[in-house]
Amino acid sequence: MKGFRLILFLLLLLAVLVKCSRDSLQTPVKVIDADIFLPRQATIDSFVFANRYVDSIFVNGSLVIGGQYDNDINDIGSLSKIKTINGDCSIIGTTRLFSLHGLENIKKLRGLYLFLNTNLANLEGFKNISALSGFLSIEANDALINLNGLEKLESIMGSFKLSNDHLVTINLPSLKVIGGMCDFEDIHPTTSISLNKLDTIKGDFYITHADHLSDFNGLNSLKYVGGRFTIKSNAINNFNGLNSLAYIGGEFAIHENENIINLSGLTNLLEIKGALYINGNNHLSSLAGIENIINAQNILIDYNPQLSDFCPIKPVIVRMMNAYPTTSPYQLFVFISNGSSLPEPYYHSNVLSDCP
Residue extents of the structural domains in the chain: 25-354
Instruction: Supply the pTM of this predicted model.
Output: 0.88
DSSP-derived 3-state class of residue 13: helix
Per-residue CA distances from 208 to 103, 189, 215, 305 (Å): 32, 12, 13, 21
Q: What percent of the chain has pLDDT over 90?
A: 73
Q: Which residues of the chain have pLDDT under 70?
A: 1-27, 324-347
What pLDDT is stored for residue 336 in this prediction?
58
Distance CA 55, CA 53 (A): 7
Per-residue CA distances from 258 to 163, 232, 345 (Å): 21, 9, 24
The reply to whether omega before 312 is within 30° of 0 (cis) is: no
Distance CA 347, CA 149 (A): 51
Asked if residues 261 and 285 have their Cβ atoms less than 8 Å apart, the reply is yes
What pLDDT is stored for residue 67 in this prediction?
94
Amino acid at 286: S
Q: How many CB atoms within 10 Å of residue 84?
A: 15
What pLDDT is stored for residue 26 in this prediction?
56
Distance CA 254, CA 281 (A): 8
What pLDDT is stored for residue 343 in this prediction?
54
What pLDDT is stored for residue 2 in this prediction?
56
What pLDDT is stored for residue 6 in this prediction?
59
Amino acid at 76: I
What pLDDT is stored for residue 17 in this prediction?
47
Q: How many CB atoms within 10 Å of residue 350?
A: 16
What pLDDT is stored for residue 277 in this prediction?
93
What pLDDT is stored for residue 223 in this prediction?
98
Amino acid at 37: F
181 HSE (CA, 13 A, CB side): 12
